[in-house]
Amino acid sequence: MSSSAASETRNALIAALVCYTAWGVFPLLFMAMAHSGFTAPEILTQRAVWALLFAAALVLATGRMAQVRSVLTTPATLGWLLLSTVMILINWGAYVWATTQHHTLEASLGYYINPLLNMVAGLFLFRERIDKWGWVAIGSAAVGVVLQTLALGRAPWLSILIALSFAAYGVIRKRVAADAQTGLFVECLLMIPFGVGMLVWLSQAGQVVGFASPAHWAWSVSSGLATVLPLALFAWSARRLPLSTIGFLQFLAPTLQFAIGVASGEPLTLLRILSFVFIWAGAAVFALAALWRKRAERQAIKTVVDAV
């Protein structure tokens, strides 16, 4: 590997680490906003409104306005993005509510099982094959969810909603002929009627604090920046890193969320710990299997090249 290629790989790894770390510490931002007087609905609304500003800046910086115009004039693509917008709003809403109502552990569970749920979606929707290790990972996660249900005395609905909405979002975006930056900008554009309408409704109910002071303005704007910047880093790094590396790193975010939930005093019973042990085991099998497949592919390619 040349020095320039090695440098680009290193930078991509750093960008991915920053991205997943940012996603992992999101609860701290939302908890701080809640402490400053923001309700969960307002946090979601401010995030939806201010993300448009930074998504637009990203599209302009990367020269994608032509693709934006193409998407906006293609009804089928616009329809899919409208559906993905609904899914991401559900995901954001559930996540913001969870992290501001002392359910961060449930939020982390949702993002642990999301990659495994993606495997199931790939099987049924895209006819992708799941090997025996994939089924072991899915089975382990399923046991973890059952134990979590027993520990909570109810189904972990927030975890399930977060995982399902994000998996659905991923499936929809897989079908859309638009890159990450373009798609996000159009989604943010489609969120504006919801965001403005919610702000007006919350304002009439006396539940808007985002414009009360410079500090509150800063919190509002930061929620938009925190939404767009990690995605930009992810889009850049994902094109330069092996999928096996991404497979490992994607579990960094829920691990940080789990740590934040524990540090903030959320109840962690023995049965709940056991449920996460099964979830972690499933995540580990998923990541190690991805790494093994990647190495096997490289070895197969090397064997063919050597034979030639």
Kindly tell me if the per-residue pLDDT of 245 is higher than 80. Answer: no
Q: How far apart are CA 252 and CA 234, in angstroms?
A: 13
Q: For residue 2, what pLDDT band results from cuts at 50, 70 and 90?
A: low
**Could you read off the pLDDT of 248-289 as tens digits, one per residue?**
788 899 999 999 999 999 999 999 999 999 999 988 888 888
Q: How far apart are CA 20 and CA 31, in angstroms?
A: 18
**Could you read off the pLDDT of 94-132 as tens digits, one per residue?**
999 999 999 999 999 999 988 888 888 878 887 778 888
Ranges of H-type helices in the chain:
3-24, 26-35, 40-61, 65-72, 75-100, 104-125, 132-152, 157-175, 180-204, 214-238, 243-249, 252-263, 270-307
Backbone angles phi, psi at 293, to 5 degrees: -65, -40
Q: In which residue are the tokens 């500090």 written? A: 215
**Could you read off the pLDDT of 173-230 as tens digits, one per residue?**
888 888 888 998 999 999 999 999 999 999 999 999 999 999 999 999 999 999 999 8
Of 33-37, 113-117, 135-139, the range with the lowest mean pLDDT is: 113-117
Q: In terms of pTM, does the model score above 0.85?
A: yes
